[in-house]
Amino acid sequence: MAVLSKTRTNSGISTYLGPWDKSAVIHLLRRVHFGVTKENIDYFSSLTQQEAISEVLNIDYNVPSPPINNYNNNNPDPNVNPGETWVNDYNSSLNGIRRRSFKSWWVGQIVNHDRTIREKMVLFWHNHFSTQSAVYGWANYGYQNNQLLRSNCLKNFKSLVKDITLDPAMLIYLNGERNSKSAPDENYSRELQELFTLGKGPESKYTESDVIAGAKVLTGWRISRTTGIVYFESSRHDTSDKVFSSYYNNHTVSGKTGQEGTTELDDMLNMIFAQNEVANHIVRKLYRWFVYYEIDENTERNVITPLANIFRNSGYEIKPVLEALFSSEHFFDTANRGAIIKSPADLTLGITRTFDIPMPGADDYVNQYNAWNRLLSITALTQQDIGDPPSVSGWPAYYQIPQFHELWINSDTISNRNKISDALAANGYSVGSTRLKIDPLHFAKKLDNASDPNLLINELIEMMHTLDVDQNQREFMKSILLSGQVNDDYWTQAWNEYLNDQNNTTKANIVSSRLSSLYKYLMNLSEFQLS
């Protein structure tokens, strides 16, 4: 793990004692939610800093309603009625359409997420324990994998690693179910060490022989294609002793016969988690996800090392690490505000949530899923196909040195990003008989003082931009509202006339068109791409 020598800031994980003002609230929400809503700004502003962080981390682990048959009109399902869930039915002929159903459902969970960090963490673990639905194939396994990440996103990392090792989607994706004593497959053993636990840093000194030994430990695991249940087939397991390198203190995983062979996995994981680098690697990944992409010497010393100590001392509990990070002076350091480029999910789904774009309800589930699917496709257009990251390493923006998050922006994606925000602010996207688009009046009525053009612009900038904009841009924004007039009262009068007669189409159109143009302009500014 290369650490930069230059210094950005000297702040560490001491508790942040600066102002818990609107700016601090919005910064927290930008990093832990998808989009910043007016309702959440007001709600979290009413809490203390520690109350807010507790709220964010207080996850309800109740399982949401599963994905359903939303596809029957075009793809009749012989086993599952329209509107009922397919997750327990293993009909392989419908896997393609069901995978789309699952991925659309997942986008729906993000769009409708609560005040906690859960959906951000589910996507974080999906990027970390990367699988591709197009490779594992079975939609049921995709849903199982998602539920595993969802149910453990702030719990114990070591337990999560064991569970993901035996997850059907992962077993297929990295050839775990093909791994046998007669044909050992090194794929998962390699990624377990290289990506999932120890990483590739200079202190991660496991060897090729460790990969081979790990593969032997993992032999024998299988999946029932009719139930999705993972089981251990002892006749396929390598019962020899597995000797690891000096990096692991020459540890030997003693070979076991019969069902005792399952215990070898625990032995190997205990060996891996005895290495300090596990905590360092995971903390660095969390840091890059929530704070900033570069880790200089000061950040390594003042942030990564103490957080890694918390991680190890807690027995690899995830929640205490994030609680310390989000409470820290470093997290709220001005150097880290507006410092990273929004991911495609943060951009598209964030716009959807910030502007509270109307969606079809559960009573119109076909169009509801169609809307979620449209958002999925739009997000994929800008290089983040949720459910199908490009490789086992996840999305390059989270690991590719030296660019990291800069990879989200190129000549193609920046154009597509602007097209997306332009479309949502103007004509929208067709979904059945409805359209996915911003309702400019609905959103403006949520704001504190939409009748005052200066206060309206100030609040919009505060919500939508991490960095301030110059006075010339502010004046241009106001000119959009004033439509060539010079007196602020011109907008105030137009807005109040609309409020007093909201069924008057002419009055509504006057303010609606100007608000749409204003939103479009705000989202076209480069500052809007930052979080």
User: What is the SS3 assignment for 346-405?
Assistant: HHHHHHHHHCCCCCCCHHHHHHHHHHHHHHHHHHHHCCCCCCCCCCCCCCHHHCCCCCHH
Task: Determine the pLDDT at residue 70.
Answer: 96
What number of other Cβ atoms are within 10 A of residue 225's Cβ?
A: 12
Residue 103, pLDDT > 80, answer: yes
- Residue range 225-244: average pLDDT? 96
Comparing C-alpha atoms, which of 385, 388, 376, 384 is closest to residue 431? 376
- Residue range 122-137: average pLDDT? 97
- Residue range 330-345: average pLDDT? 97
Residue 429: enclosing H or E segment and its boundaries? strand 429-431
Task: List helix spans (H) across 238-276.
Answer: 263-273
Rounded Cα distance, 192 and 167, in Å: 13
Residue 5, pLDDT > 60, answer: no
Cis before 82 (ω within 30): no
Give yes or no for a contact between 61 and 151, defined as CB atoms under 8 angstroms apart.
Answer: yes
- Residue range 297-316: average pLDDT? 98
Comparing C-alpha atoms, which of 257, 242, 248 is closest to residue 184? 242
In angstroms, how far apart are the furthest CA atoms of the chain? 85
Burial annotation 130-153 (CB, 10 A radius, 16+ → b, else e): bbbbeebbbbbbbbbbbbbbbbbb
- Residue range 122-139: average pLDDT? 97
| pLDDT above 70 as % of the chain | 99
- Residue range 87-94: average pLDDT? 93
Strand, coil or helix: 465: coil
- Residue range 142-159: average pLDDT? 98
- Residue range 255-264: average pLDDT? 98
Comparing C-alpha atoms, which of 407, 344, 399, 333 is closest to residue 376? 344
Q: pLDDT tier at 6 (50, 70, 90 boundaries)? A: low
The number of angstroms, rounded, from the C-alpha of 457 to the middle of its chain's C-alpha atoms is 29
Instruction: Name the average pLDDT for the chain.
Output: 96
Minimum mean pLDDT among 165-169, 213-217, 464-468, 492-496: which range?
A: 464-468
Q: Which two tokens stand for residue 67?
A: 């994905």
Comparing C-alpha atoms, which of 150, 276, 146 is closest to residue 205? 276
Q: pLDDT tier at 467 (50, 70, 90 boundaries)? A: confident
Cross-strand partners of 243 = 252
- Residue range 36-45: average pLDDT? 98
Rounded Cα distance, 472 and 7, in Å: 33
Residue 145, pLDDT > 90, answer: yes
This prediction has a pTM of: 0.97
Question: What angle do helix axes 344-354 and 411-425 make, rounded to 10 degrees?
Answer: 10
